[in-house]
Structure 1
Amino acid sequence: MSFDAGLKAHLATGATSVCHAWRIARGDGVVMGFTDHDRELRFDGVVFRADSGLSALALQQGTGLSVDNTEAVGALSDGAIRETDIEAGRFDGAELTAWLVNWAAVDERQVVFRGTLGEIRRAGGAFRAELRGLTEALNRPAGRVYQKPCPAVLGDGACKVDLSQPGYVAERALEAVEDGQKFTFDALAGFDFGWFQRGRLTVLSGAAAGLVGTVKRDRFLEGGRVVELWEPLRAPIVAGDIVRLEAGCDKRFETCRLKFDNVLNFRGFPDIPGEDWQMALPVRSGETSGGSRR
């Protein structure tokens, strides 16, 4: 990546007017800008606030694949980064871009870091967030696993199921909520028992809007429909909030065929031998049908 010519010439003068700017893009679409300058900056359609108290430790980046050793440090405030949003997980994995900027001419700027937010720690009205560079993704194991279940995520590019089709999605208001984890609906007509199990629940309104949970159980109970998540949502959610339920998939070939009519895109290997095949013994009878021998 070449260095910006204008900024390079400015730095060569020896009398500089530079600062840092950060852009955070959360998974729910919210974009926030911060700077350590004493006045706000504007570029790329983002306002970079000067009153956020956000700063960053010196960047230590190398050519290896380890997590870049740097942190973002800032104060928690209602107008900038709120503790409730961190607790709810809204900043988990958020994309972050950092620039070195000539505040007197913001067109003279250079990206010095691009990555995501990692572990976030809170204490004493402040937070410290680990910054993870783009090479972090290269540390993850990759490759195809040969197994009976389908490894694709329902609705992704490999699966290709269109979840917007009728019968796969339901949007309803909650009748009751228990511990932010169990949700009761008065009626979900047209959906079989367990239809949403292993699916997703997305909150569309209220204080928890934008949060997503994975469905553990979907069952009928005392005349209503109860949907339970594996983990409670980390923000207040109350009766009357609107949620979106998406059908779940247990990754089996039969489910792909009968529930989603998507056999052509099934990514598993349903006929692969199971672990009991390792215990098979050779015989002379020539019978290889797998049936019992008498």
Structure 2
Amino acid sequence: MSDIPETLAAHLAREVTSLSHCWRVTRRDGTVSGFTDHDRPLTVAGTSFEPQSGFTASEARETLGLAADTVEIEGAISAATITADDIAAGRWDGATVETLLVNWRAPDQAGTIRTQTVGRITRADNRFVAELDGPEAALDRIGGRWFRRACDAELGDERCGVDLDDPAFSADGTVAALVSADTIRVDGLDAFPSGWFAEGRLTATSGASTGATVRVLSHRVSGEGTDLVLWRDDAGLPVPGDGFTVVAGCDKRFATCKAKFANHLNFRGFPHLPGNDAAYGYATEGQVFDGAPLVP
């Protein structure tokens, strides 16, 4: 909903106007940045809006009903404000973007015309395009629980109950070497068997990527050392000497929940849920029907 003050409304009623757009971006970590499509810096409500990123916006429209409207903003990747590493690390994902309409001759005449969140960012040729989703976009997201054999809780959350601060499920390490484009060799995980951290999360605690979290695809232990294969998503890997914290992974199976975490009483899936094969199955000689659990 637009919030246009009377002073700005009076300016809009004139035959000649001096208008520009400003975007106040608040990241999830609390960092606030300001950008404008005007050719000079503007200060509005205590926020400085800088023009050097060359922000431009696509056509914006608002429709009646519950359809989700989106707007795209485009700008240059700048070492001072928006970096490729920050985009790849997801630091701008989910940021709140307030679009302001400003009289650049009198910046105190400004109004908020929409508030949206960053849904998707794409990069090409040292530029980025951010897709802004309105509140209606939340209606397209599936809510509620999934009825499936696998657990639908996130490891360590309130529904799961596993204490990830337990030394058995988390560890600190250091990157020793880069093995390949998606694999790092690490020190500090010698006490854990192969596969323990597969499907887990690695968070950098030092170096240029401090704070960035990536998913661990594979955890391998061999005679050459301990290797972690990471989901890159175009992000650079931690470099040798960087520290990190990694938490154990969970494949969401009941057997893993019981054997690895001793947390089967909190399992949030339905391991006995019949599959499609049950609809076509029939009793045959030699099958055992003793009422025993299908999942140990």
TM-score range (shorter-chain normalised) is 0.7 to 0.9
Q: Which amino acid aligns with 2:6?
A: K
In structure 2, the residue matched to 1:254 is 255
TM-score by length of 1: 0.80
Per the TM alignment, residue 249 of structure 1 is displaced from its structure 2 partner at its CA by: 0.7
Query: Using the alignment, how far apart are the partners of 2:234 and 2:76 within structure 1?
Result: 24
In structure 1, the residue matched to 2:117 is 115
In structure 2, the residue matched to 1:23 is 24
Q: Is the 8 A contact 1:201 1:246 kept in 2?
A: yes
Query: Using the alignment, how far apart are the partners of 1:272 and 1:248 within structure 2?
Result: 24
Per the TM alignment, residue 267 of structure 1 is displaced from its structure 2 partner at its CA by: 1.0
1:39-188 superposed matches below 5 A:
39-43=41-45, 46-86=47-87, 90-101=91-102, 104=106, 106=108, 109-123=111-125, 125-188=126-189
Per the TM alignment, residue 266 of structure 1 is displaced from its structure 2 partner at its CA by: 1.7
Q: Tell me the number of residue pairs that the alignment of Structure 1 and Structure 2 aligns.
A: 285
| SS of equivalent to 1:70 | strand
Query: Using the alignment, how far apart are the partners of 2:8 and 2:37 within structure 1?
Result: 19
Q: Is the 8 A contact 1:116 1:131 kept in 2?
A: yes
Per the TM alignment, residue 21 of structure 1 is displaced from its structure 2 partner at its CA by: 2.0
Q: Which amino acid aligns with 1:281?
A: Y
| SS of equivalent to 2:148 | coil
1:157-236 superposed matches below 5 A:
157-231=158-232, 234-235=235-236
Per the TM alignment, residue 288 of structure 1 is displaced from its structure 2 partner at its CA by: 4.0
Query: Using the alignment, how far apart are the partners of 2:232 and 2:52 within structure 1?
Result: 35
Q: Which amino acid aligns with 1:172?
A: G
| SS of equivalent to 2:24 | strand
| SS of equivalent to 2:258 | helix
| SS of equivalent to 2:178 | strand
Q: Which amino acid aligns with 2:136?
A: T
Summarize deviations over 1:4-40 as a string: whole Å, max 9, x none: 5xx1343125456654221234456644221234223
Query: Using the alignment, how far apart are the partners of 2:100 and 2:159 within structure 1?
Result: 36
Q: Which amino acid aligns with 1:237?
A: P
Per the TM alignment, residue 148 of structure 1 is displaced from its structure 2 partner at its CA by: 1.8
Summarize deviations over 1:82-140 as a string: whole Å, max 9, x none: 345445554444432222245636485324231214242433x5433332222223223
Q: Which amino acid aligns with 1:169?
A: S
Per the TM alignment, residue 248 of structure 1 is displaced from its structure 2 partner at its CA by: 0.6
| SS of equivalent to 1:256 | helix
Q: Which among 8, 11, 31 is matched to residue 9 of structure 2?
A: 11
Greater mean deviation of Cα atoms: 111-120 or 10-19? 10-19
Please report the RMSD computed on the Cα atoms of aligned residues, expressed in angstroms: 3.3
Q: Which amino acid aligns with 1:182?
A: T
Give the direction of change, closer, same or farther, for the CA distance of 1:66–1:177 in structure 2 (3 Å limit). Answer: farther
Q: Which amino acid aligns with 1:54?
A: F
Give the direction of change, closer, same or farther, for the CA distance of 1:176–1:64 in structure 2 (3 Å limit). Answer: farther
Q: Is the 8 A contact 1:75 1:127 kept in 2?
A: yes
Query: Using the alignment, how far apart are the partners of 1:73 and 1:230 within structure 2?
Result: 26
Q: Is the 8 A contact 2:201 2:216 kept in 1?
A: yes
Give the unaligned 5+ runs of structure 1.
Answer: none
Greater mean deviation of Cα atoms: 184-193 or 213-222? 184-193
Q: Which amino acid aligns with 2:228?
A: V
Task: Please say if 1:241 is aligned against 2:242.
Answer: yes
* TM superposition outliers: structure 1 runs of 4+ over 6 Å: none
Q: Which amino acid aligns with 2:9?
A: L
In structure 2, the residue matched to 1:34 is 35
Give the unaligned 5+ runs of structure 2.
Answer: none
| SS of equivalent to 1:11 | helix
